[in-house]
Structure 1
Amino acid sequence: MGNAVPLRLELRSELLQLAAPFRISGRVFRDSPALVVELHHPRGTGRGEAAGVYYNDDAPEAMRATLEALRGRIEAGLDRRALQALLPPGGARNALDCALWDLEAKLAGSPVWRLAGLDGVRPLLTTFTVGADTPEAMAERAAAYDHARAIKLKLTGEPALDGERVRAVRRRLPRVWLGVDANQGFDAASLPLLLPVLAETGVALLEQPGARGREADLDGLERVVPVAADESILDLRELEARHRHFDVINIKLDKCGGLTEGLAMARRARELGKRVMVGNMVGTSLAMAPAFVLGQHCDVVDLDGPLFLTADRRPGAVYRDGHIDCPGEVWGDP
């Protein structure tokens, strides 16, 4: 996209409130800060939202400062290719990249999915996430997703307790697709204690069992369950360096810096023989919609972020029959 007409950049910080505290390994979330980018052009406005990557200290206020420092360059006219060289992967680039995609759709009169080379988009089966809690509470919460076909459980790196959590949910939902996410909670000694339970209960995916930087701990592990990288692989460069340790690559736009790099990562992961997943850092439907386009290429989809909020944007993503759909009016339609 070439902009002969200068743009007007608008940056807005928002604090998204969670409906209830959400616990993962080593952290409890009660709200989710976000940065919204708007690019105003005489023929339309492009929007993007990002939360950043908390474990990299990639916070929305720092993202805002980064973009504010580049205001002159951005408002003079910037395309996605130039942005890839201008900013590193992370939330600031994600928000701006998604706003550029949205604006490009407005100016081209063509939806983002078509600009991205797709023939169309379809509703996607998504996981619905249950935060770490007692086994009984997690089973109740999983069952409360009455239309869900896929559930993802947050674990905390405590093999005995985590095993009971998984068993409790499986007893309550014997036929649902079940994945677990440890958020780096296990180590080389504790993970083997959990694996028999995962095999016994038919868990389909184990996400990020160990710490970022300790990927070699997975070498030689009996893969009773496919293992996905989340924190271990942030962007395309890290995909090249660390893919051999994992079966599935979880791409998040906040990690990799936007839909442009997310699509490139999906293509490269396929070339490397990996399955592909799309995830989210929590956010409104404005953050889910670009990931929904990426999700058209993915085997596993985890785009339930708006369901954790007290309020979503309108119009918003539609959750029905275990699927997510993002109509064009949410984002990315001319």
Structure 2
Amino acid sequence: MELILRAYDLKLKHTFTISRESIDMQPSLIVELKSDGFSGYGEATSNPYYKTTVPVMMADLNKIRSIIESTTEETPEVFWAKIHPYLKEDMFALCALDMAYTDLYARKKGKKLYQLWDYTITKNPLTDYTIGIASIEKMVAKMKELPWPIYKIKLGTKEDIAIVTELRKHTDAIFRIDANCGWGVEETINNAIALKKLGVEFLEQPMKADNWDGHKEVFKHSVLPVIADESCIIEEDVAKCHNHFHGVNVKLVKCGGLTPGRRMIQQAKALGLKTMVGCMTESSVGISAIAHLLPQLDYVDMDGALLLAEDIATGVTIKDGVISYSKLNGTGVTLNKL
């Protein structure tokens, strides 16, 4: 098996701002694994919050190149368990590798991923579309630019309720709120009351990740469901979120790929938590992998490729929140920009 690493800078259509940063370009690593005439693709983007960069991911993967390339017919689960000890400090790199290996494995089996996993795709949830923090006028303009059934609105400003109040005047769409750790306990509880009246479905990670006492207080008193993101990174975090959140947002890059991501989703379901998978502004490589998890999810945020000025791949397509799969096997991805 051959390992190929490619670095890209994904240009965004608009400056993307959340409570802690703004970006115009998203660095991304694409991993390709080639074997027996087939190629599998995986992706992980850089992220300063998690201190992850593309050069570090590439260096970590190159250190174990011989181990990766000596792999033959192992299942994705066996492969992940073998590689995890070498990349346990770099889950982003592990994600890109696991995604590529799982894609390759499914293609060699002549199946799409959801077929490999025996998932039924008849009741897939719609994806939301994210509106980043900007002036109220710009946020309204972004929303009008792409009419959508569900919007995820980034907050964490001093004008949060005013922003949602104004946005509500322009659409009947469902709203989801992501404050990216930007609120406190009382602020969250009070904001939930106002936001529920404005047609908000749930709040995502309103407070700092390690504020477990605060999360429990909000869990008890919030009139809106609260979904964990930054508080739920790896498999061991799912159990911690029980009785502190109403659901978990599994990010593949944070947990180390599709293989542990599927386990986290099943664990969450067993605990009665709502399940969600989110993206990290990936191209269609990463987004297409997420799409095959849809049958196991209550909510999904997989609009990353829609935020790009130019995609580097083709795979699943998204229209009005509805995801359509590629005719190709595996994740269905073709890398267009080599």
TM-score computed with the length of structure 1 as normaliser: 0.91
Question: Partners of 1:58 and 1:103 in 2: how far apart?
Answer: 25
Partner of 2:230: 231
**1:170-223 deviation line (CA, Å, top 9, x unaligned):** 1111x2111110001112243334223212212101001001111321223312
Give, as a single letter, the amino acid of the residue that structure 2 aligns with 1:38: E
Question: Partners of 1:198 and 1:162 in 2: how far apart?
Answer: 9
Cα drift, residue 122 of structure 1: 6.5
- Structure 1 pair 154/258, CA: closer, same or farther in 2 (3 Å)? same
Question: Partners of 1:300 and 1:46 in 2: how far apart?
Answer: 26
Partner of 1:156: 156
Instruction: Give yes or no for contact 1:262–1:294 (8 Å, CA) kept in 2.
Output: no
Q: Find the partner of 1:214 among 193, 211, 214.
A: 211
Partner of 1:132: 133
Partner of 1:246: 245
Instruction: Give yes or no for contact 1:60–1:91 (8 Å, CA) kept in 2.
Output: no
Question: Partners of 1:151 and 1:313 in 2: how far apart?
Answer: 24
Cα drift, residue 54 of structure 1: 3.2
Pairing 1:15–2:12 present: no
Instruction: Give yes or no for contact 2:212–2:244 (8 Å, CA) kept in 1.
Output: yes
Partner of 2:21: 27
Give, as a single letter, the amino acid of the residue that structure 1 aligns with 2:137: E
| Identity fraction in percent | 31
Instruction: Give yes or no for contact 1:248–1:276 (8 Å, CA) kept in 2.
Output: yes
Question: Partners of 1:34 and 1:303 in 2: how far apart?
Answer: 16
Instruction: Give yes or no for contact 2:291–2:316 (8 Å, CA) kept in 1.
Output: no
Question: Partners of 1:328 and 1:232 in 2: how far apart?
Answer: 36
Partner of 1:3: none
Q: Helix, strand or coil: the match of 2:138? A: helix
Q: Which moved more, 1:21-30 or 1:81-90?
A: 81-90
Give, as a single letter, the amino acid of the residue that structure 2 aligns with 1:149: P
Pairing 1:169–2:167 present: yes
**1:246-265 deviation line (CA, Å, top 9, x unaligned):** 00110111111111111111
Q: Which moved more, 1:306-315 or 1:252-261?
A: 306-315
Where does structure 2 lack aligned partners over 5 or more consecutive residues?
Answer: 334-338
Instruction: Give yes or no for contact 1:135–1:165 (8 Å, CA) kept in 2.
Output: yes
Where does structure 1 lack aligned partners over 5 or more consecutive residues?
Answer: 1-6
Pairing 1:185–2:179 present: no
Give, as a single letter, the amino acid of the residue that structure 2 aligns with 1:91: F
Question: Partners of 2:18 and 2:189 in 1: how far apart?
Answer: 20
Pairing 1:99–2:100 present: yes
Q: Which moved more, 1:77-86 or 1:133-142?
A: 77-86
Instruction: Give yes or no for contact 2:106–2:329 (8 Å, CA) kept in 1.
Output: no
Partner of 1:4: none
Instruction: Give yes or no for contact 1:34–1:60 (8 Å, CA) kept in 2.
Output: yes
Question: Partners of 1:299 and 1:210 in 2: how far apart?
Answer: 22
Residue pairs, 1:40-51, within 5 angstroms: 40-51=34-45
Instruction: Give yes or no for contact 2:216–2:243 (8 Å, CA) kept in 1.
Output: no
